[in-house]
């Protein structure tokens, strides 16, 4: 019969014996009847958490300095039901699909631990857990999962300013849990020097309760005076743990200012992963994405094969009040001629802070953005640098900017305000930016 010494009560040894599973070692406590009773109660609660609600314990002394506790785990219970708060807006099936256990299965505490972790990584959940267990009316376990949902969505706006270009900005409306099904709707518009860019995106996260979903996107942009670009794209995606695999296709149409239409019909594939966790300072951990496209591109008088890729990754960590972050963006056309009006616009908030918005047109690019922040909460001071290598129509460019700011929260408001400047020009050419997000 297996034995496990859990603790020592002063000069009295406490030995647990019985059928497995046996609880892990405990801590030493002062010898007393109440201490022993409290320890046994804790052991029975441990059995309940492992799926053994009918466990029992008996105590007897085998000598003046030896107390034996006999344990009987009893029957391992099944999962009878999963319950959520009555005011839950989200469909329970959307949350249960991440639980690797269904009603009627033997209760698995490891599956529940992984489920809580997965729920806390969902955008529509602000906090989940700790779970509670009860004995159900059918003699098995009822699992109650406390859930604090995130807001239904948000409205976000941003702007930047310097003397040369004045004020530029834009906004977006995001609904991230439409009809309680985790569906996402995004509508965005940005004012540029030449007009207004706009986009629409819809994402359906599940089809018939499966990890399969789809998304559609429509967009229009005005890259410079007299040019117009329009595109559409549709993708299907499948969740595999923390990884999302997607595939689909679309078309891009461009009308450059110099005349002559351009078109790019393509197939697309991508990977997205999110290993971040919530913390008092904000998200911490690693997340990234990579997407590739390949298809036929045509100009006014010719057609050729073109392939492009686009990727990004970010890593955030904290050590006490000090935080460290690193962001990487890279991409470009890896085969074929560049579409003149389809070059990536870079500059301004989100890419190269401190430079004018969309000042660069790049066919290939790489940007590294290290950051150091300070603060005990999500409200933090930070300094940053954006270092880039770009291949443009005129050759290789190496813009570098630096700056600092403050980001934080105030109720339903999240904000990011700061300034950056090109290192080759100095603070006299600084650009100021402000981004604000209001939860709905």
Instruction: Determine phi and psi for 136, rounding to 5 degrees.
Output: -85, 170
d(CA 130, CA 317): 24
Q: What is the dihedral of CA 405, 409, 415, 420, to 10 degrees?
A: 10
Per-residue confidence (pLDDT) for residue 81, from 0 to 100? 94
Contact of 283 with 276, CB cutoff 8 Å: yes
d(CA 79, CA 318): 38
d(CA 122, CA 128): 10
User: b or e along 4-22 (b: 16 or more beta carbons within 10 Å of the residue's beta carbon)?
Assistant: bebbebeeebbebebeebb
SS (H, E, C) the chain: CCEEEEEEECCEEEEEEECCCCCCCCCCECCCHHHHHHHHHHHHHHHHHCCCCCCEEEEEEEECCEEEEEEECCCCCEEEEEECCCCCCCCHHHHHCCCCCCCCCECCHHHHHHHHHHHCCCCCEEEECCCEEEECCCCCEEEECCEEECCCEEEEEEEEEECCCEEEEEEEEEEEEECCCCEEEEEEEEECCCCEEEEEEEEECCECCECEEEEEEEEEECCCCCCEEEEEEEEEEEEECCEEEEEEEEEEEEECCCCCCEEEEEEEEEEEEECCECCCCCCEEEEEEEEEEEEEEECCCCEEEEEEEEEEEEEEEEECCEEEEEEEEEEEEEECCCCHHHCEEECECCCECCCCCCCEEEEEEEEEEEEEEECCCCCEEEEEEEEEEEEECCEEECCEEEEEEEEEEECCEEEEEEEEEECCCCHHHCEEEEEEEEEC
User: pLDDT of the chain along its 440 residues, tens only?
Assistant: 344 444 445 556 666 677 778 777 655 555 566 766 777 788 888 888 888 888 887 776 676 667 677 888 888 899 999 999 999 999 998 899 889 899 999 999 999 999 998 898 888 898 898 999 988 898 899 999 999 998 888 888 887 777 666 677 788 999 988 988 889 999 999 877 777 889 999 999 888 777 899 999 999 998 888 889 999 999 999 988 788 999 999 999 988 887 778 899 999 999 999 888 877 887 889 999 999 999 998 875 678 898 999 999 999 999 989 999 999 999 999 998 888 878 899 998 889 998 988 889 999 999 999 999 999 888 999 999 999 999 998 999 999 999 999 999 888 899 999 999 999 888 888 899 999 989 88
Per-residue confidence (pLDDT) for residue 208, from 0 to 100? 77
Q: Which fold has domain 79-149?
A: Ubiquitin-like (UB roll) (3.10.20)
Q: Could you give the C-alpha distances from 219 to 157, 230, 233, 286, in angstroms and in order? A: 18, 6, 9, 29
Q: Answer whether 79-149 and 153-439 agree in fold.
A: no
Per-residue confidence (pLDDT) for residue 396, from 0 to 100? 96
Per-residue confidence (pLDDT) for residue 13, from 0 to 100? 65
Within a 10 A sphere around the Cβ of 346, how many other Cβ atoms? 24
- Domain map (residue ranges) of the chain: 3-72, 79-149, 153-439
What burial class does residue 163 get, using C-beta atoms within 10 Å of its C-beta: 0-12 exposed, 13-18 middle, 19+ buried?
exposed
Q: What angle do CA 387, 280, 85 make, to 5 degrees?
A: 125
Per-residue confidence (pLDDT) for residue 5, from 0 to 100? 43
Per-residue confidence (pLDDT) for residue 72, from 0 to 100? 83
Per-residue confidence (pLDDT) for residue 326, from 0 to 100? 96
What's the gap between Cα 11 and its chain centre?
52
Per-residue confidence (pLDDT) for residue 74, from 0 to 100? 85
Within a 10 A sphere around the Cβ of 353, how many other Cβ atoms? 26
| Residue 108, token pair as written in the block | 């698995």
Per-residue confidence (pLDDT) for residue 416, from 0 to 100? 93
Per-residue confidence (pLDDT) for residue 63, from 0 to 100? 66
Contact of 368 with 393, CB cutoff 8 Å: no
Q: Give the closest residue to 49 by CA, choosing from 8, 109, 95.
A: 109
In sequence order, the 6+-apart residues with CB closer than 8 A to the CB of 321 are 374, 375, 376
Query: Whole-prediction pTM value?
Result: 0.77
Query: Is the domain 153-439 a CATH 3.30.1370.60 member?
Result: no
Query: Is the domain 3-72 a CATH 3.10.20 member?
Result: yes
């Amino acid at each position: 019969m297996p034995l496990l010494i859990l603790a020592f009560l002063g000069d009295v040894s406490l030995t647990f014996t019985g059928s497995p599973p046996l609880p892990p070692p405990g801590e030493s406590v002062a010898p007393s009847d109440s201490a022993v009773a409290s320890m046994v109660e804790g052991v029975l609660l441990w059995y309940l958490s492992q799926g053994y609600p009918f466990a029992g314990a008996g105590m007897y002394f085998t000598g003046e300095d030896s107390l034996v506790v006999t344990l009987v785990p009893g029957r391992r219970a099944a999962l009878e039901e999963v319950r959520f708060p009555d005011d839950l807006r989200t469909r329970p099936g959307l949350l249960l699909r991440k639980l690797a256990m269904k009603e009627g299965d033997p209760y698995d505490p490891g599956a529940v631990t992984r489920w809580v972790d997965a729920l806390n990584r969902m955008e529509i959940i602000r906090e989940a857990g700790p779970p509670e267990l009860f004995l159900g009316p059918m003699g098995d376990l009822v699992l109650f999962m406390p859930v604090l949902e995130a807001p239904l969505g948000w409205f976000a706006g941003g702007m930047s300013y310097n003397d040369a270009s004045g004020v530029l900005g834009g906004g977006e409306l995001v609904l991230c849990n439409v009809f309680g099904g985790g569906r996402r709707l995004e509508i965005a518009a940005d004012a540029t020097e030449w007009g207004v860019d706009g986009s629409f995106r819809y994402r359906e996260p599940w089809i018939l309760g499966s990890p399969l979903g789809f998304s559609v996107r429509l967009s229009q942009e005005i890259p410079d005076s007299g040019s117009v670009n329009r595109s559409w794209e549709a993708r299907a995606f499948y969740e595999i743990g923390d990884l999302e695999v997607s595939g689909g296709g679309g078309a891009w149409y461009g009308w450059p200012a110099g005349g002559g239409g351009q078109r790019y019909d393509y197939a697309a594939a991508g990977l997205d992963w999110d290993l971040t966790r919530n913390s008092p300072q904000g998200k911490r951990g690693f997340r990234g994405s990579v997407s590739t496209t390949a298809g036929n591109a045509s100009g006014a008088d010719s057609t050729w094969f073109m392939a492009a890729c686009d990727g990004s990754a970010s890593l955030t960590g904290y050590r006490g009040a000090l935080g460290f972050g690193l962001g990487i963006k890279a991409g470009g056309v890896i085969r074929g001629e560049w579409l003149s009006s389809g070059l990536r616009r870079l500059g301004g908030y989100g890419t190269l802070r401190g430079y004018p918005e969309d000042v660069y047109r790049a066919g290939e690019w790489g940007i590294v953005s290290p950051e150091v922040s300070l603060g005990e909460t999500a409200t933090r001071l930070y300094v940053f640098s954006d270092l880039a290598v770009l291949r443009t129509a005129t050759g290789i460019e190496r813009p570098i900017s630096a700056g600092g700011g403050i980001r934080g929260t105030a109720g339903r408001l999240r904000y990011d305000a700061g300034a950056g400047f090109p290192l080759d020009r100095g603070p006299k050419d600084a650009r100021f930016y402000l981004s604000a997000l209001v939860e709905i």
